[in-house]
Every structure is written in structure tokens, then in C-alpha cells.
């Protein structure tokens, strides 16, 4: 919601706050990915997550972080 507000209002500080929160979400995602990878060896229910879906989700996450950073830095803006 904060990023959408930034896009509508175009207030630079909101963009950086959204980026900071996104970094926290990335850290949580990394922890969850490591738990998932470890659980694949133990045979827990998380084993049923398809590998392609997990890695695809990670790829979209990295793309989002890079695009938010580039937008905040003003690269590619009009």
C-alpha cells in the first residue's frame, strides 16, 4: 500500500520507506527459503512446494527489489 501511495503522490521519502520495508520482507523471504531448502531433506510437508514455483517466486522478488531501488534512485525516469 505504501508503494502505491508513493506512485500516486510521488513523494520521495515514501519511496525510500517502502524500499526499507521491502528489504525487511526480503530478509524474511530469505529465512523462509532457507527453511524450505532444509526441510526438503527431512521430508516435511513443505517438500510438496514445486521447485520451479519457489525459484520463480524468488526471481520475481529480486526483480521487484531492483525495480524499486532503480525507481527511488531516479534511473529511467521521465
Structure confidence by residue, pLDDT tens digits, 10-37: 888 999 999 999 999 999 999 999 988 8
In the chain, the percentage of residues whose pLDDT exceeds 70 is 97
Distance, in Å, from the CA atom of 40 to the CA atom of 26, rounded to the nearest integer, reads 21
pLDDT at 52 over 90: yes
Q: Give the pLDDT confidence score for residue 78 in this predicted structure.
A: 60
Q: How many CB atoms lie within 10 A of CB 47?
A: 11
pTM of the model: 0.81
Give φ, ψ of 36 to 5 degrees. Answer: -65, -45
Q: Which residue would you say has higher pLDDT here, 64 or 45? A: 64
Amino acid at each position: 500500500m505504501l508503494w502505491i501511495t508513493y506512485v500516486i503522490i510521488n513523494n520521495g521519502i515514501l519511496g525510500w520507506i517502502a524500499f526499507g520495508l521491502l528489504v525487511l520482507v526480503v530478509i524474511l523471504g530469505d529465512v523462509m527459503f532457507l527453511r524450505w531448502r532444509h526441510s526438503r531433506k527431512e521430508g516435511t510437508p513443505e517438500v510438496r512446494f514445486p521447485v520451479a514455483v519457489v525459484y520463480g517466486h524468488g526471481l520475481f522478488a529480486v526483480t521487484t527489489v531492483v525495480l524499486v531501488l532503480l525507481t527511488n534512485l531516479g534511473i529511467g525516469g521521465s
